[in-house]
């Protein structure tokens, strides 16, 4: 129900009351119910918006990756992840941040909100589909949202390589080919 429709509805109801010889200040039972309904709708909208707002908490406001951030490589681009999945335990509350390079700076590609070590949702300023932002997870399972629109639960907390390992792996592949052994210190975790 749009604000224009609501305003038109109320004006028409008041004109009807005035035309009937009754004062516009008294509301009929229909107007009382309509007013209550409109109030509830207006109250509910901020709750929905807050449900898809940017998460708040530890690391949710980072603007650049710390030196200890992990690395992921995607189509030749080194992405940074903080904190690393191996460092998120049952006491962790906050965000895991995926950073992407943007010129000489970093941008936050997305945040994974974590509550008591459990990744519960993904948020991105670049996501325009509220259906995706509304996805909710608990203990590795989708509990709310469209399974066709939501990311796979097992991938919302990202594993990463130790800092510097992307370059080490790229150099090994350049030297030995695609079958190059991965150095033991460069495991996804």
Q: What is the 3-state secondary structure (H, E, C) of 126-148?
A: CCCCHHHHCCEEECCEEEECCCC
The H or E element that residue 109 is part of is: strand 105-115
Task: Tell me the pLDDT band of 151, cut-offs 50, 70 and 90.
Answer: very high
Radius of gyration of the chain (CA): 25
Query: What mean pLDDT do residues 23-44 have?
Result: 41
Task: Look up residue 134 and give its two tokens.
Answer: 């509304």
Per-residue confidence (pLDDT) for residue 24, from 0 to 100: 44
For 77-135, how does the pLDDT look when each residue is reduced to its tens digit (9 = 90+)? 999 999 999 999 999 999 999 999 999 999 999 999 999 999 999 999 999 899 999 99
Task: Tell me the pLDDT band of 39, cut-offs 50, 70 and 90.
Answer: very low
Distances in Å between the alpha carbon of 43 and those of 11, 22, 49?
21, 30, 11
Closest CA to 93 of 129, 141, 144, 57: 57
Query: What mean pLDDT do residues 146-160 have?
Result: 93
Per-residue confidence (pLDDT) for residue 153, from 0 to 100: 92
Per-residue confidence (pLDDT) for residue 52, from 0 to 100: 79
Statement: residue 181 has pLDDT above 70:
yes
């Amino acid at each position: 129900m749009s604000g224009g429709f609501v305003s038109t509805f109320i004006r028409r109801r008041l004109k009807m009351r005035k035309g009937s010889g009754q004062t516009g200040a008294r509301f009929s039972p229909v107007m009382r119910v309509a007013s209550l309904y409109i109030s509830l709708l207006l109250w509910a909208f901020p709750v929905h918006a807050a449900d898809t707002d940017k998460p708040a908490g530890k690391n949710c406001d980072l603007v650049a990756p710390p030196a200890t951030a992990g690395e992921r490589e995607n189509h030749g681009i080194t992405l940074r992840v903080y904190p690393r999945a191996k460092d998120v335990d049952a006491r962790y509350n906050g965000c895991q941040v995926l950073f992407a390079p943007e010129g000489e700076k970093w941008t936050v590609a997305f945040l994974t909100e974590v509550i008591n070590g459990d990744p519960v949702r993904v948020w991105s300023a670049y996501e325009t589909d509220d259906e995706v932002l509304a996805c909710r997870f608990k203990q590795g399972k989708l509990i709310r949202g469209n399974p066709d629109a939501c990311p796979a639960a097992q991938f919302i907390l990202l594993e990463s390589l130790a800092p510097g390992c992307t370059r080490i792996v790229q150099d090994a592949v350049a030297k030995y080919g695609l079958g190059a052994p991965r150095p033991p210190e460069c495991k996804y975790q």
